[in-house]
């Protein structure tokens, strides 16, 4: 099982010094990948509740977030081997033609280390600010994936869809990775799960209880089989948000919360599911207050997951 880590990208942790240190340390420790998230704004009065909190409020850390592709490009310049991934980009926010150029540039400059995670997000406020219609996000995501693949795999490129028109043109260079960088998708609704089954190299859940991941993963693999794809080639990448405690949590314990032993048990459970990769994100861990705290967790989780 590969091991990944979320770069310090938000609030007081995000900045060039911390990103450089985490990037170099992760590579030295034998981590396989580094990842970024996509958050455009933190509305003062959100129209939709944040799905990962009990009261629907956004964490204060989301009030300051560095651009995901820019952050990965900076990390690429300070590393040589480690993969660089988006977990996730909210695909309908972007012009797919311009996004293809950004992602291709990152893949070329990193020597073929890009891994692309896509989702569709949850916030109407962010869609409004991005100039993208909320009620067409699924259909746009379907088309935009096709646009990206067309740009990455054909020369010259030509595309005529509902939302995107490309006259027959040369759009180069192409990504180093052929036919294109691996695509992973966060998916929880039937439509998004079908999109993952049809188009992606893997499924990337976050916030789904470990006990439920296996059944959902089996469902997506069955969808892939029905779409004429080999389900055995559909990878599972699990994003974990560990929070450590000194004393064991005995009642109503959420996954990846508790003592080091309890969290190690969750890592083992993910491995048992057949996951290809686990990605640790410690941005929201209460004991990570600065870059030094993040580096400490980077080393601790690496040992726990037996990196190397």
Query: pLDDT value at position 52?
Result: 85
The DSSP string of 84-117 is: EEES-EEGGGS-HHHHHHHHHHHHHHTTS-EEEE
3-state secondary structure of 294: helix
Domain range list for the chain: 2-304
Query: pLDDT value at position 308?
Result: 43
CA–CA dist 259, 198 (Å, integer): 39
Query: pLDDT value at position 307?
Result: 54
The DSSP string of the chain is: -EEEEE-S-BGGG-SHHHHHHHHHHHHHHT--EEEE-------SS-SS--TTSTTSPPPGGGGSB--HHHHHHHHHHT-SS-EEEES-EEGGGS-HHHHHHHHHHHHHHTTS-EEEEEE--S-HHHHHHHT--GGGHHHHHHHHHHHHHHHHH-SSEEEE-SS-EEEEE---PPPSSSS---EEE---SHHHHHHHHHH-SEE--BS--HHHHHHHHHHHHHHHHHTTS-GGG-EEEEEE--EE-SSPP-SSPPTTEESHHHHHHHHHHHHHTT-SEEEE--TT-TT--SHHHHHHHHHHHHHHTT--
Q: What is the pTM of this model?
A: 0.96
pLDDT digits (tens, 9 = 90+) for 216-256: 999 999 999 999 999 999 999 999 999 999 999 999 999 99
Query: pLDDT value at position 81?
Result: 98
| Token pair 């770069």: residue | 7
pLDDT digits (tens, 9 = 90+) for 68-99: 999 999 999 999 999 999 999 999 999 999 99
Query: pLDDT value at position 55?
Result: 87
Query: pLDDT value at position 20?
Result: 98
CA–CA dist 157, 151 (Å, integer): 6
As a CATH number, domain 2-304 is 3.20.20.30
Where the chain has pLDDT below 50, the residues are 308
Query: pLDDT value at position 53?
Result: 85
| DSSP 8-state code for residue 279 | E
CA–CA dist 288, 30 (Å, integer): 21
């Amino acid at each position: 099982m590969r091991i990944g880590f979320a770069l310090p990208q938000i609030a007081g942790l995000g900045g060039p010094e911390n990103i450089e240190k985490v990037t170099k340390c992760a590579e030295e420790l034998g981590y396989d990948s580094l990842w970024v998230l996509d958050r455009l704004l933190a509305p003062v009065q959100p129209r939709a509740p944040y799905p990962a909190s009990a009261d629907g409020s956004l964490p204060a850390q989301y009030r300051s977030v560095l651009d995901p592709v820019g952050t990965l490009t900076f990390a690429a310049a300070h590393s040589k081997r480690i993969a660089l991934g988006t977990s996730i980009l909210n695909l309908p926010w972007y012009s797919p033609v311009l996004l293809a150029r950004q992602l291709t540039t990152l893949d070329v400059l990193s020597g073929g280390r890009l891994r692309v995670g896509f989702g569709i997000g949850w916030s109407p406020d962010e869609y409004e600010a991005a100039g993208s219609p909320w009620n067409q996000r699924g259909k746009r995501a379907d088309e935009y994936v096709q646009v990206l693949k067309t740009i990455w795999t054909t020369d010259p490129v030509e595309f005529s869809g509902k939302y995107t028109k490309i006259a027959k043109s040369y759009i180069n260079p192409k990504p180093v990775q052929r036919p294109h960088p691996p695509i992973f998708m966060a998916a929880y609704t039937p439509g998004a799960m079908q999109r993952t089954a049809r188009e992606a190299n893997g499924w990337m859940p976050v916030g789904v209880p470990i006990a439920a991941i296996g059944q959902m993963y089996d469902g997506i693999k069955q969808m892939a089989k029905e779409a004429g794809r080999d389900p055995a080639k559909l990878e599972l990448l699990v994003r974990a948000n560990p929070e450590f405690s000194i004393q064991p949590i005995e009642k109503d314990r959420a996954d990846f919360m508790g003592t080091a032993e309890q969290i190690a048990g969750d890592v083992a459970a993910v491995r048992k599911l057949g996951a290809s990769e686990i990605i640790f994100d410690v941005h929201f861990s209460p004991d990570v207050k600065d870059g030094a705290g993040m580096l400490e967790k980077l080393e601790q989780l690496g040992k726990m997951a037996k990196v190397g």
